[in-house]
């Protein structure tokens, strides 16, 4: 008996090797994008096929099981790797609908490198056929994700910070936290923020403040419902780096408004206040 729920329409498929190399969500998005690039919806521009879509339509027509933020993060990661290309080929100058394509060369290079990495594992054999323990020659190409990008530390990651530096970070964090629209998970947010600041001198408070301004602007622009705003503990855990520069006219009415979250700005509502 055939299960009526299986493949009643074009299914979303996943290549296990790509999922292993890039991540499951990214593999799903990439495969679905490839499907549309080979459909009648694709348009050839400068010798390459492109399709256009909005995040809302990606969710509605392709990934109803994900939030828009999840879709945005997966596409952002693919863009940073150079595998997914984006452009604006709209006739109207104010139309910022994005066009998408795939850099097959970049994808092939990445997958070839992964295959070579796996093949470089050498296990010498003894005469009796047993593998020699502890002598494998393996190069590791770590993936860059929002988690390990900001939470993995440098060689001196576990060294204690000078008290003066830590105090400054605390002040900087409180400045950003005061602006954040959904004050949930402050302790976790501070922990993520501190690890991020410690990982590199290039990680400045000015950078993350700018990313917060972009996030708030996007909430306004997309009329985000309050329940879908990320908790502070999530946003400070690398999600802030997903925010991109977007030039769009500001919505005059409607959408996200910080006044809607006045209650969230009352830190007395929560028991996770920091000890400073």
Ordered domains of the chain (ranges, CATH)? 16-106 (1.10.10.10), 146-269 (no CATH)
- Quick one: pLDDT band at residue 222, thresholds 50, 70, 90? confident
Contact predicate 49/37, CB 8 Å: yes
Q: 110: which residues sit within 8 A by CB, 6+ positions away?
A: 21, 22, 81, 83
pLDDT given for residue 58 in this prediction: 92
Tokens linked to 183:
């004050």
Residue position matching structure tokens 């890039």: 22
Cα separation, 232 vs 173, whole angstroms:
12
> Between these two residues, 270 and 199, which has the higher pLDDT value?
199
Radius of gyration in angstroms for the set of CA atoms belonging to the chain, rounded to a whole number: 23
Name the nearest CA neighbour of 236 among 154, 171, 174. 174
> Between these two residues, 219 and 147, which has the higher pLDDT value?
219
pLDDT given for residue 113 in this prediction: 83
Q: Give the dihedral of Cα atoms 246, 149, 55, 210; nearest 10 deg.
A: -30
Cα separation, 163 vs 224, whole angstroms:
39
User: Whole-model pTM?
Assistant: 0.44
Q: In sequence order, what are the beta bridge partners of 49?
A: 44
Average pLDDT over residues 132-136: 43
Whether 266 shows a pLDDT value over 70: the answer reads: no
């Amino acid at each position: 008996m055939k299960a009526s729920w299986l493949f009643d329409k074009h299914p979303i498929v996943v290549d296990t090797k790509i999922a292993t190399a890039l991540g499951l969500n990214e593999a799903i998005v990439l495969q679905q994008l490839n499907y549309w690039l080979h459909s009648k919806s694709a348009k050839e521009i400068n010798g390459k096929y492109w399709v256009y879509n909005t995040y809302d339509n990606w969710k509605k027509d392709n990934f109803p099981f994900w939030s828009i933020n999840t879709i945005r993060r997966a596409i952002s990661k693919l863009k940073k790797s150079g595998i997914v290309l984006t452009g604006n080929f709209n006739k109207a100058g104010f139309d910022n609908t994005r066009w998408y394509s795939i850099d097959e060369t970049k994808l092939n290079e990445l997958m070839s490198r992964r295959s070579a990495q796996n093949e470089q594992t050498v296990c010498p054999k003894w005469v009796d056929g047993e593998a020699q323990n502890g002598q494998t020659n393996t190069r590791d190409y770590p993936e860059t994700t929002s988690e390990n990008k900001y939470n993995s530390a440098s060689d001196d990651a576990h060294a204690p910070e000078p008290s003066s530096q830590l105090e400054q970070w605390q002040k900087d964090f409180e400045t950003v936290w005061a602006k954040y629209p959904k004050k949930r998970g402050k302790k976790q947010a501070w922990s993520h923020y501190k690890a991020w600041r410690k990982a590199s001198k290039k990680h400045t408070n000015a950078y993350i403040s700018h990313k917060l301004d972009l996030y708030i602007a996007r909430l306004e622009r997309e009329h985000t419902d309050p329940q879908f705003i990320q908790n502070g503990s999530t946003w400070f855990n690398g999600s802030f780096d997903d925010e991109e520069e977007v030039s769009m006219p500001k919505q005059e009415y409607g959408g996200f408004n910080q006044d809607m979250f006045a209650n969230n700005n009352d830190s007395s509502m929560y028991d996770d206040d920091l000890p400073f």
